[in-house]
A and B are shown apart, each in its own frame.
Chain A
Amino acid sequence: MTLLSRLRSAFSGSIFSGRLSPAQDRRRAEPSANPNAEAFLTFAGTGEVVQAESILQAEGLDARVMAPPATLRTGCDMVIVTSLMHAFRAVSILKAYQLTPLQMTPVGEDLLEPVSLFQHKDFGDWLMVRAANMKITVEKASGRIVNVSGGGCPDVPYLAAQLIGKNIYETDSDRKDGQTLCGYALHLAAQELRRVQKSAGG
């Protein structure tokens, strides 16, 4: 069963799923009483999730990647979580970028947080940064990416081929070509590497 079909069956009758009655539509338009309430947006592919996060953050919305509820997971899944108050605005923004979420659903159970810490390892002329299961290494003096390691999803070897040999500041392959959670972790590691290199004057 695909994520979409799981979502459809899991949330049939939910106020946010499928075609809505006028009454449901009115309810849907009412903001939640809880200002901290959150909603998650699901997409057809993880590549779209990464794009959506970048777009929403650039538009000033709080948007972050998390795991879908356990009952909906099919494999390499991630969803965007944002404030329920701003969820419809988020959908409108994404539609303007031709990026339409499959579903928007209020968060009803705890979602797993992705990793948020980085590990740095200094190898003299080279610096390695690790985020979750992904590692990226640059030559400090030139900013040239020399290696990518870790991970298990099929975009990792492809991303490595795109990134190795490029300057960390001159490539955005880690952001635009990643399709999976491993690819997203690699993007986070690359971002951290750019930050560290910059603060070190590299």
Chain B
Amino acid sequence: MTTPAAPWLFVGTIPAADFPLTLAPFTMKETQLFSGAHSCPVNRGTPALLATAFLTCTHLGSGANTSELYMLAAGDTGKGEGSRQVYQRLVEVLRELRPRGITFHYLLPDVDWHNRVLLEIEKLPERPLLVADAGYMYAAKMSGYAASYDLFTPDIGELAFLADETAPHPFYTRHFFLADEEQAEDLIVKAYVGSNAASHMLVKGKVDRYVHDGKIVETVDAPDVPVLECIGGTGDTLTGIVSGLLALGTDMQIACSTAFHINRCMGLLARPTPASSVVDLLAVFPLAVQKEMLRTKV
């Protein structure tokens, strides 16, 4: 395997039974993600994450940065076969790959595999930045090693799960079901007190919150586009933007803040309805980046 020095690695699954185990760079064109001879639509899940990270490095970095993005993914429709292939391969290649950062995404939560992966990471001479979203964030919390991660990206419901020290999955979260924005500060404290949070958290909601070591450092609440809550994949695009920015070497707070603004801006510019898809949002990504550049210059 010939890989660039210290790539940024995205680890997840593709929602199709026949997508083979793939460890390779990737590109995105129109509504499709490409890696080698394989392609898939980018409308949700890990493909949406990868597409958004690719766009971020294309529009906010130099074109060359995209060759440093690697995907490790396999087809998985929920039965876990693809996830297990990915876990296995990850353990095998980590020492050779020596990524500078890893974004973990849609994987069947499995604490035993999670711990084997983390053990391999701890053996690396230089510890990569670790971002966990979706199922892998659930596994990280359940393992008791949440504090080993640099960034979690929960929504309010997932924050309630992190705050509940006994919950193995958001499905069982006690007391906080249908947690709302008003509980966010309390839930953040609980998550950190229980050591069930990453050092940085990007809490998605009506108000987005960037949290560092239990303190809310920055909030973003505009533009407010309520229908985004219906659209599957808007969390994936947010994680894609922040991961792309981190891969470009951006400071964590700036990466989180910029990601919040670009993601919300896509929602505003695409004028979505509850029937829109992530593809509609990604179509206006370049415009949203321009708008964000103008905002930060002011």
Binding site for B on A (CB under 8 A): 1, 45, 47, 66-67, 70, 73-78, 112-115, 117, 119, 121, 123, 126, 128, 130, 132-133, 135, 137, 139, 146-161, 177-185
Contacts and interface: CB of A to CB of B under 8 A. Distances in A.
B39 to A, nearest CB: 15
A146 B273 CA distance: 10
Contact of A112 (B47, B168, B226): B168
A146 B229 CA distance: 13
A159 B79 CA distance: 12
A70 B77 contact: no
Q: Main SS of chain A's interface residues? A: mixed
Contact size range, B = 35 or more
Nearest to A185: B171
Interface of B: 13, 15-16, 43-47, 76-80, 82-83, 106-112, 133-139, 142, 155, 157-158, 161, 166-174, 177-178, 226-227, 229-235, 273-277
Given A135-B230, A181-B169, A73 B142 contact: yes
A33 B36 CA distance: 64
11 contacts: A75-B139, A76-B108, A115-B172, A130-B178, A137-B230, A147-B231, A149-B234, A153-B108, A156-B232, A160-B15, A185-B170
10 tightest A-B contacts by CB? A155-B78, A157-B45, A179-B78, A152-B134, A157-B15, A146-B275, A133-B170, A158-B15, A75-B109, A149-B232
A132 B111 contact: no
A179 B106 contact: no
A121 to B, nearest CB: 7
Given A152-B137, A154-B135, A179-B77, A112 B172 contact: yes
A188 B3 CA distance: 44
Contact of B78 (A67, A70, A137, A158): A158
A112 B142 CA distance: 14
B284 to A, nearest CB: 18
B230 A123 contact: yes
B78 A159 contact: yes
A1 B115 CA distance: 11
